[in-house]
Amino acid sequence: MLMHVTELTVSDYRNYSRQTVRFSDKINFVEGRNAQGKTNLIEAVYLCSVGKSARTPRDKELIGHDKDRAYIRLMVSKSYGEDKVEIVLDRTAGKQISVNGMPISRMGELMGVVSTVFFSPDEMRIVKEAPADRRRFMDIALCQMSRTYFYLLTRYNKVLMQRNRLLKSGTVTDDALYVWDMQLAEAGSKIIKTRRGFVENLCKVTRECHSYLTDGKETLDLGYESIDGANAEEIKENFARILIEDREKDRLRGYTHSGPHKDDIAFKIGDEDIRSFGSQGQQRTASLALKLAEVEIVGSRGDYPVLLLDDVLSELDIGRQKRLMDKIKDYQTIITCTHIDSAILDPTLPFKDLHVENGTVKEL
């Protein structure tokens, strides 16, 4: 089943005073010159999906200039009916989120209501930048698929914060650390097991997407780099042992050296690790293939997510643009661009063309 966004309303959001936009359930182009508000629209959709912007951690930056609050409402059609997500961003009161008119008290309640996959040229950092970006990618995807994972990750991060606080105190005993070590190993082993299964499935689908985008010229492989173990119990035992072995080092430096907060995903084409040695083109295509695979993996668990592509076409040659358009024709996709090249369009496939100018959207 394809979940799809039907309508977005924003008020005093970024450069929009008030605007309602209706979307097609297939391909939507949001075109216009730079700095007109194209990206702000898909940012608002993403915000309703995970509760935070893909561009800034500071909610106040989303509120219109000289305004006290911003409002976003997203309507989503699903197999069982329609959901409504509303977000109020207030400079004084902070952020309030409601689902179908009911305020939520925990961010986990938002996970899975609106599933999205976001990709922009900046997302190339998934491959070429620090491991933290790749962990963030895994965690956002898994949190949208499973609220259980969201709460597990939240629990792990709280225990990790407490253990690090004790390490920084300089007076913590082995007995005190042991209590937190066991909690960290318990939650961490489940996170590692879940991520490893996710990456194994992701590898298969990413390889297929990458081969399609490169016309079969390269083969991409992924690997999850973490603590070893055939199952959660083995991972837990290994993690607990490593925590004990690292205690003196952790004490000296004041933080926990090992665990899923240090894990990574390897990207290889042949024997070459493209995280460090790949060309920009290889890294760009690999990251796009990863996002397309994410759509398939998330969709295999339920409703397919909405694909948000921000200024991606300008980064691809015509051949890859055509293959991308063919690949996404069955998903709801919202694509921002400065113009639409008719050479990449299949005349048999309908699409919606929305033009943005200075915070105003018109349907062409």
In a domain, 240, yes or no: yes
pLDDT tens digits along 152-185: 999 999 999 999 999 999 888 899 999 999 999 9
CA atoms within 13 A on the CB side of 331: 27
pLDDT band at 1 (very low <50, low <70, confident <90, very high): low
In a domain, 91, yes or no: yes
Sheet holding 220-225, edge to edge: 220-225, 264-269, 272-273
Residues 175 and 256 in one domain: yes
Closest CA to 16 of 62, 74, 81: 62
Residues 209 and 250 in one domain: yes
Give the domain extent around 286.
127-302
Residues 7 and 145 in one domain: no
Structure tokens at 341: 């090249």
Closest CA to 352 of 334, 337, 331: 334
Residues 250 and 361 in one domain: no
Residues 139 and 235 in one domain: yes
Residues 281 and 309 in one domain: no
Closest CA to 328 of 281, 363, 294, 362: 294
Structure tokens at 56: 């800034």
pLDDT tens digits along 225-275: 999 999 999 999 999 999 999 999 999 999 999 999 999 999 999 999 999
Could you give phi then psi for residue 196, rounded to 5 degrees? -60, -45
CATH of the domain at 341: 3.40.50.300
pLDDT at 314: 86
pLDDT at 185: 97
Residue 221 clears pLDDT 90, i.e. is over it = yes
pLDDT at 354: 96
pLDDT tens digits along 25-78: 999 999 999 999 999 999 999 999 999 999 999 999 999 999 999 999 999 998
Write the CB contacts of 227 (distance below 8 Å, at least 6 apart in sequence).
188, 189, 192, 235, 238, 239, 242, 258, 259, 260
- Mean pLDDT, residues 16-20 taken together: 97
Residues 289 and 360 in one domain: no
Residues 296 and 311 in one domain: no
CATH of the domain at 233: 1.20.1050.90
Residues 346 and 289 in one domain: no
pLDDT band at 197 (very low <50, low <70, confident <90, very high): very high
Please give the mean pLDDT across all residues of the chain.
94
pLDDT tens digits along 84-135: 999 999 999 999 999 999 999 999 999 989 999 999 888 878 999 899 999 9
Alpha-carbon distances, residue 348 vs 28, 139, 193, 341 (angstroms): 15, 37, 44, 16
Percent of the chain at pLDDT > 90 equals 85
pLDDT band at 348 (very low <50, low <70, confident <90, very high): confident
Answer with the one of 302, 329, 348 that is the final residue of a domain.
302
Residues 266 and 157 in one domain: yes
Number of domains present in the structure of the chain: 2
Yes or no: say if 197 and 140 are a contact pair by the CB < 8 Å rule.
Answer: no
Alpha-carbon distances, residue 216 vs 208, 220, 279, 333 (angstroms): 9, 10, 17, 24
